[in-house]
Amino acid sequence: MLKLPASVEEYFPYASVRQHQDQFIETIHTAVRNRQSVLIEGSNGLGKTISSLSAVLPVAIKKKLKILYVARTHRQHDRVIEELRAVCKKHQVAGVSIRGRNEMCLNVFAAKGAFDSKSLMEVCELLKAKSRCPYYLNVDNQTYDYLLLQQQIASRPYMASEIQRICKKRELCPYELVKSALSDTKVIALSYLYVFDPVIRTAFLKNLNTDLQKVILIVDEAHNLPETAIDISSSTLSLFVMKQAEAEANKFGNKAIEEFARFFRTEIEKLTDKINKEEIISPDSIIEIIQKQGNVSRPREFFEQIHEVGGVIKKALLAEGKNPRSYVHAMGEFLLRWLETLGDDSYINVASKYFNKENSKTAKLEIVALDPSKITEPVFSQTYANVIMSGTLQPLEAYAKITKLPRNTVQFIAPSPFPREHVFSAVCMGVTTSMEKRTPAMYQTMIRRIAEVVENTPRNTGIFAASFEVSRALIEEGLESAIDKPLFAEKRGMTSKANEKLVSDFKACGDRYGAVFLGVQGGRTSEGVDFPGNQMNSVVVVGVPYAEPTPRVKAQIEYYEKCFPRFGREYGYVLPAMKKASQAAGRPIRTLEDKGAIVFLDSRFAQNYCRSFLPSWVSNGMKTLPDGNGVLAKEISAFFKAAQ
């Protein structure tokens, strides 16, 4: 029987609710009805997507509001549309999932010429203005068909991939088609950037024909948001871009910019030659070098001139039928941003050395943001209401402070729906990836514990190491020969396509005799991929993934300490690591039917402090196993025998 408010029941498409799902739904519905935001943690298997949708739909329909559902992956966007289709059996609701222009664009010329979504947006606008995109021109040429398609999309839930297929057949611009249907669409599933990147948001809201005050925002997998916000606010200028800007200025006959780019690149090479890996530098010192040694008396005016020339170059390249990518423009944009952030202590300026794809040593300048709330607060403070949810948000108070959620935000942790007997969790004593204890003997002990898990797990086992260094050390110390199942190892710098193939091949082994997957915590597989059923029966979390104490990590801790006295280290160092570990730990338990073993190979997880950051469904009943051969094997074997 349903135990939901009558208005919610109208949209909830299933005959019954899962355990604790009704509390999750009612908490969201009550908060949004009262025009409050809600910060809510709910474990996998609770049905967070349909719960949040059915909880906010009655308010959105009554108040004529849009629902923007932001998530990281296309799979999550498509899940929203799948659930909306289930809702449509009871109540007609239009919805669409949209991808970035770079993924929706059918114009190969435009997509090839863009660095990222922002530069593609510029390329796209230039092509449209010059009537150079056939897909856009066909929008006008096929008016009747186009209007029919527009009505069709606004009538029921559609996935971005479906719209793309329709448009490919008719040679129409999928982005324009979706854009034209947005004003008649109630629910839109999309990436974080559409809402949180200020430049992209301005253009998107214009297409949406509304403002944030008429939006209910649902943020899924919200543990990722602070890091995404930092990325949005940060900027990079590499030696490669400077060199290309120099060549570009030469080609277009701009001697002043050519000489400046050469001078600036030489100065940054000299500066980075003296540093080891990375160093925080004074932003004023760079401006001083530009003024004194570069003879630039008015930096702002000169940087604006570089930026404008870059814009002219883009148009000239397009007129020549070439991709309108300008390195001069990119350099000008970075230098103007450098001036904008001067004196703002929520940014640091970093010079660093690194190896590029060709394995050659190079360098870059960075403007590194330290405060995610500069990106999140302008959004959270303007929307009608926000639903911020994930399976790993604890401590909620810390998250609310870091992102500056409204003061009256409701905070709730939904109890786990998993039967206790479906989950085995344990910490092994006597092992750690603590830097000073990373010896061959320690790795040999870890390999023995991993082998005990693999041998006593019915099919597939996942291993997520604290870093690629730990992962590599496990392989070098003989992991592959110690286990009796095939090993699939994730490598640093792997393309997403190669990674998907690796994961797919590993998953397929769950239908046979099983295999072992070795990845890293915080990597794309440990956070973005589900492994239900036999795709992953056991997971081994090797080490606490604390960040390397680089100057930028130390600066982040100091910044948070200033903002939140006594909590700097926790917010800037401990929390990000424990979120990664928690995400990795949750990979095998994705549905209520799953039965999985979670093993932490690091004695630090046994400490009350570390343990307090793990989700309650993992930490409740977690065993602490003594150091010794065979102890773990016995526990894993007994768990899976009982699970059968």
Determine the average pLDDT of the residues in 34-39: 98
Determine the average pLDDT of the residues in 232-237: 97
Q: Measuring CA to CA, how many Å separate 2 from each of 25, 80, 90?
A: 12, 22, 15
Whether residue 298 contacts residue 237, with contact meaning beta carbons closer than 8 Å, is answered with no
Determine the average pLDDT of the residues in 63-67: 97
Say whether pLDDT at 334 is over 50.
yes
Say whether pLDDT at 566 is over 80.
yes
Residue 578 to residue 563: CA distance in whole angstroms: 21
Say whether pLDDT at 440 is over 80.
yes
Q: Is the model more confident about 9 or about 127? A: 9
Whether residue 294 contacts residue 391, with contact meaning beta carbons closer than 8 Å, is answered with no
Task: Quick: pLDDT tens for 177-212.
Answer: 888 888 889 999 999 999 999 998 998 999 898 999
pLDDT of residue 302: 97
Closest CA to 350 of 306, 285, 408: 285
Closest CA to 263 of 240, 287, 289: 289
Whether residue 257 contacts residue 306, with contact meaning beta carbons closer than 8 Å, is answered with yes
Alpha helices (H) along 536-574 = 551-563, 568-569
Q: Which amino acid, residue 435?
A: M
Determine the average pLDDT of the residues in 399-405: 98
Cross-strand partners of 236? 366
Q: Measuring CA to CA, how many Å separate 19 from each of 390, 419, 554, 642?
A: 17, 10, 43, 23
pLDDT of residue 132: 81
CB atoms within 10 A of CB 394: 22
Provide the percentage of residues in the chain whose pLDDT is more than 90.
73
Q: Where are the domains of the chain?
A: 233-369, 420-643
Confidence of residue 114 (pLDDT cuts 50, 70, 90): low
Q: Which fold has domain 233-369?
A: Fumarase C; Chain B, domain 1 (1.10.275)
The number of residues making up the chain comes to 644
CA 390 to chain centre: 13
Structure-token pair, residue 258: 């050519």
Lookup result for tokens 């059996």: 89
Pairing between strand 410-413 and 38-41? parallel
Q: Measuring CA to CA, how many Å separate 85 from each of 14, 55, 187, 283, 461?
A: 12, 16, 12, 52, 34
Q: Do domains 233-369 and 420-643 have the same CATH topology?
A: no
Provide the percentage of residues in the chain whose pLDDT is more than 70.
98
pLDDT of residue 118: 63
SS3 category, 540: strand
Residue 492 to residue 506: CA distance in whole angstroms: 18
Residue 132 to residue 127: CA distance in whole angstroms: 5
Mean pLDDT, rounded, of the chain: 92
Backbone angles phi, psi at 293, to 5 degrees: -85, -25
CB atoms within 10 A of CB 127: 22
pLDDT of residue 1: 46
Structure-token pair, residue 104: 């929706």
Whether residue 550 contacts residue 514, with contact meaning beta carbons closer than 8 Å, is answered with no
Residue 266 to residue 274: CA distance in whole angstroms: 13
Give CA torsion, residues 323, 327, 330, 336, to 10 deg: -140
Omega before 551 within 30 of 0, i.e. cis: no
Confidence of residue 41 (pLDDT cuts 50, 70, 90): very high
Whether residue 346 contacts residue 555, with contact meaning beta carbons closer than 8 Å, is answered with no
Helices (H) and strands (E) in the chain, counts: 32, 18
Residue 342 to residue 349: CA distance in whole angstroms: 9
Structure-token pair, residue 553: 């990590």
Cross-strand partners of 361? 355
CA 366 to chain centre: 20
Closest CA to 173 of 277, 119, 101, 113: 101
Backbone angles phi, psi at 194, to 5 degrees: -60, -30
Closest CA to 38 of 53, 46, 28, 29: 28
Task: Quick: pLDDT tens for 69-102.
Answer: 999 888 889 999 999 999 999 999 999 999 877 7
pLDDT of residue 100: 74
Q: Is the model more confident about 140 or about 512? A: 512
Determine the average pLDDT of the residues in 574-601: 92
SS3 category, 41: strand
SS3 category, 278: strand
Instruction: Choose the weakest-confidence range: 298-312, 351-365, 398-412, 566-580.
Output: 351-365
Whether residue 522 contacts residue 545, with contact meaning beta carbons closer than 8 Å, is answered with yes
Backbone angles phi, psi at 46, to 5 degrees: -80, -20
Q: Measuring CA to CA, how many Å separate 343 from each of 340, 347, 367, 544, 566?
A: 9, 9, 12, 35, 25
Backbone angles phi, psi at 191, to 5 degrees: -80, 165
Residue 606 to residue 588: CA distance in whole angstroms: 21
Q: Which residues contact 609 (CB under 8 A, 6 or more apart)?
A: none
What interhelical angle do 299-319 and 117-129 show, nearest 10?
60
Lookup result for tokens 């990000």: 576
CB atoms within 10 A of CB 331: 27
The string of DSSP letters for 481-512 reads HHSSS-EEE--TT--HHHHHHHHHHHHHGGGT
Q: Measuring CA to CA, how many Å separate 402 from each of 225, 376, 395, 582?
A: 10, 9, 11, 19
Query: ∠ CA 214-193-354 to the nearest 5 degrees?
Result: 160
pLDDT of residue 112: 65
Homologous superfamily of the 420-643 domain (CATH)? P-loop containing nucleotide triphosphate hydrolases (3.40.50.300)
SS3 category, 218: strand
SS3 category, 254: coil
Backbone angles phi, psi at 464, to 5 degrees: -120, 110
